[in-house]
Amino acid sequence: MKATLKKLSVIIALLAMAGCGNNLVRDKSNDYLLSEEVPPMVVPEGKSSGAIGQLYDVPAVPDAGAGSEYFVVPRPQPLSENVFEETVKIETFSGSRWIAINKPAEEVWPRIRNILSRSSVPTTRVDASSGIIETGWLQFKDDEDKSHRFRFKIVPGIGVNSTEVSLLQMSAPIGKEGDAGSWPAKSMDDSRELEFVEIVSNSLASEINSGSVSLLAQTIGGQEQVEVVSSADTDPYIKMNLNYDRAWASLLNSLSRGGYTIIDQNRSAGRLQVEFQEIIAEEKGQTLKEWVLNLGNKVEKVPPVEYWVELVRTEQTVEVRIADKSRDKLERSLAIKLLKVIRGNLS
């Protein structure tokens, strides 16, 4: 009993010293300020360095169009119109079909995996870098003659922080699956593909608020399909890794909202004449909530300004550029601002 009391007294004394602010227990909270940069790890010649990389990558800061000596903080970009649309939907275009979700791929990837796991659907190949999941052979009660398998292709979508999930179906006679060969270019049974797309789409919609994220799938499906390019050695533009037909359709959809109005268009020339009207909330006399959410009637409508939007085809991509009414270059920061409005509403 005495030994226990003695130990308790020592502990109380140590805690008292730690709380008195004296120098007996050193405060280490600011030790990180003394950290020094260490050289990167060197892998011996002949060994793979694939598992070694930056723990926290610092992304490149895009050119904002401002000079190095003077900078005016811009107004916040308007929210994308896509934020208020249906979250999960089945899209079709030019004979293709996919599920569009305004969630990033690193969230969609584990959900697809979970859906397949819960449904006891076996997978034979999983490749996060390519965004591919292939199922094993499945048999359906309404088809006693054939087995079916599916390939999921998960890639970053056209919208901001969005994902596209496409499916490819393949069938083979039961018992002869081993002779089926490689995947076809198109689904062999379109109705079966549509059925599976609808099942997956409904499952995704039912759990869209799930917050799980796959850290291993942050680069899933390859590079972004759309990005605003604003490097110092070129005029700002939107790069779209799409074919011309889909790029044109997506651009028309974006320009129909977010402050833009289409006046005239020439698809063969890839040019659109548009008006852009910016709505600015008046700060005077408004609460912070009214200013942020743009509530009430205290808004200032700036007169609309005409611009030309042009689609330029390259070997691999389509570029979207913007110019003034006379087709002259815009001031750099203004061009970036207008392009970001277009990019924010692409889908």
Q: Residue 166: what pLDDT?
A: 95
Question: Which domains, and CATH codes, for the chain?
Answer: 81-217 (3.30.310.170), 227-344 (3.30.310.170)
What CA–CA distance (Å, rounded) separates 220 from 164?
A: 11
SS3 (DSSP) at 81: helix
How open is the CA angle 127-132-138, to the nearest 5 degrees? 110
Q: Residue 288: what pLDDT?
A: 53
Which pLDDT tens digits describe the chain residue by residue (347 residues)? Answer: 556 656 666 666 656 655 555 556 778 888 888 888 878 788 888 887 766 766 666 666 655 444 555 555 666 655 555 555 557 899 999 889 999 998 888 888 989 999 999 989 999 999 888 899 999 999 998 888 999 999 999 999 998 888 999 999 999 999 898 888 899 999 999 999 999 999 999 998 887 555 566 555 566 767 788 999 988 788 899 999 999 999 999 999 999 887 899 999 999 999 999 999 876 655 555 555 555 555 555 556 678 899 999 999 988 899 999 999 999 999 998 999 999 999 988 88
Q: What is the DSSP string of 176-242?
A: -GGG--SPPSS-S-HHHHHHHHHHHHHHHHHTTT-----GGGTTTTSS-SEEEE--TTS--EEEE-S
What CA–CA distance (Å, rounded) separates 264 from 257?
A: 15
Q: Residue 191: what pLDDT?
A: 93
SS3 (DSSP) at 319: strand
What CA–CA distance (Å, rounded) separates 345 from 347?
A: 6
Task: For the beta carbon of residue 336, count every other beta carbon within 10 angstroms.
Answer: 23
Cα torsion angle, 100, 260, 316, 186, sign: positive
Q: How many helices (H) and strands (E) does the chain have?
A: 6, 14
What CA–CA distance (Å, rounded) separates 170 from 188?
A: 6
Q: Residue 84: what pLDDT?
A: 52
278: phi then psi, degrees, rounded to nearest 5: -95, 135
Q: Residue 11: what pLDDT?
A: 67
Q: Which amino acid does the sequence have at 204?
A: L
Nearest to 151, CA basis, from 130, 177, 120: 130
Cα torsion angle, 177, 183, 185, 190, sign: positive
Q: What is the DSSP string of 228-278?
A: EE--TTS--EEEE-S-HHHHHHHHHHHHTSTTEEEEEEETTTTEEEEEE--
Task: For the beta carbon of residue 166, count every other beta carbon within 10 angstroms.
Answer: 17
Q: Which amino acid does the sequence have at 250?
A: S
